[in-house]
């Protein structure tokens, strides 16, 4: 199904310019002091950065004579918007960003009646080689710096605060690491990003741990590291198959860490944090949607602090993959719920704007190969199996 190799070590490329969001508070204050300014200027810069202020002229609490110098030293522009597409009446906005070296990444801001969620990327491309994922089939370009990852969330936060999304000014409430890349393969920068997302002003966005989700295809060592961090963010595991034989093909990382090992690591995370983890499962017609696989998944997760988030596949032209038909979806949900496993169907957005990760970047690179992806708006399924909607996790 895929000829791409697994890639754990990102290719070495030129580092992004130094940025305040890559530094500790003490390091940032030292840089400012070296420039002959009071150390508290670093706190002022941090406050502006996390509010999404990019124009030094708007930093009116910083002396005009040094605004440009300090901004160049600690707030270089790392993310340049290439294209922004909107759907759902403007409530879904997908942005393609160009990085300093020309690499492309994507983020998606989704506004709901009770919250606003941004899906951010942690790598340019991905090295996990999942054959049904647009990003996985693009290969890995490089890891993002912490500042490049944080910058996506900051831009979304500013868009909400400035009333750029229909519904008036609001607040970014949720962040999910479900964009391009495998977050746990870029662990140090993702950890730094988490601390910034959860940190208080001026060095953070002040989000709650429950509102941040980290998704992984199953890098067991990374899950173990996250367990030891002492944070209780939501863990999402992209399983996509309950048996090793199929998962070895659908999720090649399974050749390193098998289903049982991944679930055991997730169980340990749940036990340590008290947080239920999410099992992401892309439903693919005649591949992983058989009733017997639903039963196997039900037995695997029964009694665990977990829930299943089903994602009907979003096929693209020329792809051999297709979404499971509605009867198969209903049957799959019914069997999981009969096993006592909480099950929902993801309510995703932006299908008409290449809303799933990897599609917009591929289009900008001139890729017309029709690489499929996993995100799709979930159809409304009628009784006898009413489906919930898991909007973010």
What pLDDT is attached to residue 345?
Answer: 85
| Gap between the Cα atoms of 201 and 86, Å rounded | 30
* Contacts of 288 by beta carbon, 8 Å cutoff, 6+ apart: 240, 241, 246, 250, 281, 282
- Does 119 show up as a binding residue in the annotation? no
Q: Where are the alpha helices (DSSP H) in 244-325?
A: 244-250, 259-273, 291-301
Asked if 43 and 32 count as a contact pair (C-beta separation under 8 A), the reply is: no
Asked if 77 and 20 count as a contact pair (C-beta separation under 8 A), the reply is: no
Check if 228 is active-site. Answer: no
- Does 72 show up as a binding residue in the annotation? no
- Does 181 show up as a binding residue in the annotation? yes
Every domain of the chain with CATH number 1.10.150 lies at 20-74
- Does 215 show up as a binding residue in the annotation? yes
C-beta atoms surrounding 68 within 10 Å: 13
CB crowding 321-335: b at 16 or more within 10 Å, else e? bebbeeebbbbbbeb
Q: Which fold is adopted by the domain 20-74?
A: DNA polymerase; domain 1 (1.10.150)
Q: Which of 26, 106, 228, 331 is catalytic?
A: 106
Structure tokens at 227: 């367990």
Local mean pLDDT, 10-residue blocks, the chain (393 residues): 76 90 97 98 98 96 97 97 95 96 96 97 95 86 97 98 97 97 98 97 96 98 97 97 97 97 98 97 96 98 97 75 92 97 78 52 44 32 35 34
Every domain of the chain with CATH number 3.20.20.70 lies at 80-390
Check if 280 is active-site. Answer: no
What pLDDT is attached to residue 66?
Answer: 97
- Does 240 show up as a binding residue in the annotation? yes
| Gap between the Cα atoms of 246 and 50, Å rounded | 43
CA 1 to each of CA 5, 133, 217, 247, 251: distance values in angstroms, whole numbers, following the listed order: 12, 12, 17, 12, 10
Architecture in CATH for domain 80-390? Alpha-Beta Barrel (3.20)
Q: Which of 119, 148, 280, 357 is catalytic?
A: 357
**Cα 60-66-69 angle, rounded to 5 deg:** 120
């Amino acid at each position: 199904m895929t000829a791409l190799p697994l890639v754990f070590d990102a290719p070495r490329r030129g580092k992004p310019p130094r940025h305040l969001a890559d530094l500790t508070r003490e390091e940032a204050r030292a840089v400012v002091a070296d420039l002959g300014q009071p150390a508290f200027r670093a706190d002022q810069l941090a406050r502006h950065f996390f509010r999404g202020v990019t124009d030094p002229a708007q930093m009116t609490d910083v002396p005009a004579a040094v605004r440009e110098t300090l901004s160049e030293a600690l707030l270089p522009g790392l993310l340049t918007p290439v294209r922004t597409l909107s759907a759902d009446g403007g409530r879904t906005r997908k942005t393609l960003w160009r990085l300093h070296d020309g690499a492309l990444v994507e983020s998606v801001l989704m506004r709901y009646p009770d919250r606003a969620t941004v899906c951010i990327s942690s790598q340019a491309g991905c090295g996990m080689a999942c054959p049904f994922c647009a990003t996985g089939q693009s290969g890995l370009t490089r890891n993002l710096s912490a500042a490049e990852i944080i910058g996506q969330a900051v831009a979304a936060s500013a868009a909400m605060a400035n009333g750029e999304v229909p519904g008036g000014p609001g607040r970014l409430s949720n962040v999910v690491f479900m964009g391009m890349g495998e977050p746990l393969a870029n662990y140090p920068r993702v950890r730094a990003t988490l601390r910034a997302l959860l940190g208080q002003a001026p060095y953070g966005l002040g989000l709650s741990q429950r509102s941040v989700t980290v998704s992984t295809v199953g890098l067991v060592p990374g899950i173990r590291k996250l367990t030891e961090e002492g944070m209780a963010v939501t863990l999402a595991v992209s399983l996509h198959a309950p048996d090793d034989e199929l998962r070895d093909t659908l999720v090649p990382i399974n050749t390193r860490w098998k289903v049982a090992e991944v679930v055991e690591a997730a169980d340990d995370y749940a036990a340590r944090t008290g947080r239920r983890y999410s099992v992401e499962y892309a439903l693919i017609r005649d591949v992983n949607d058989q009733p017997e696989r639903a039963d196997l998944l039900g037995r695997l997760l029964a009694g665990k602090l977990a829930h299943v988030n089903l994602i009907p596949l979003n096929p693209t032209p020329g792809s051999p993959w297709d979404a499971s038909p509605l009867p198969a979806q209903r049957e799959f949900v019914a069997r999981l719920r009969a096993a006592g496993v909480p099950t929902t169907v993801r309510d995703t957005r932006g299908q008409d704007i290449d809303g799933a990760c990897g599609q917009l970047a591929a289009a900008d690179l001139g890729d017309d190969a029709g690489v499929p992806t996993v995100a799709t708006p979930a159809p409304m399924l009628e009784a006898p199996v009413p489906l919930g909607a898991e909007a973010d996790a």
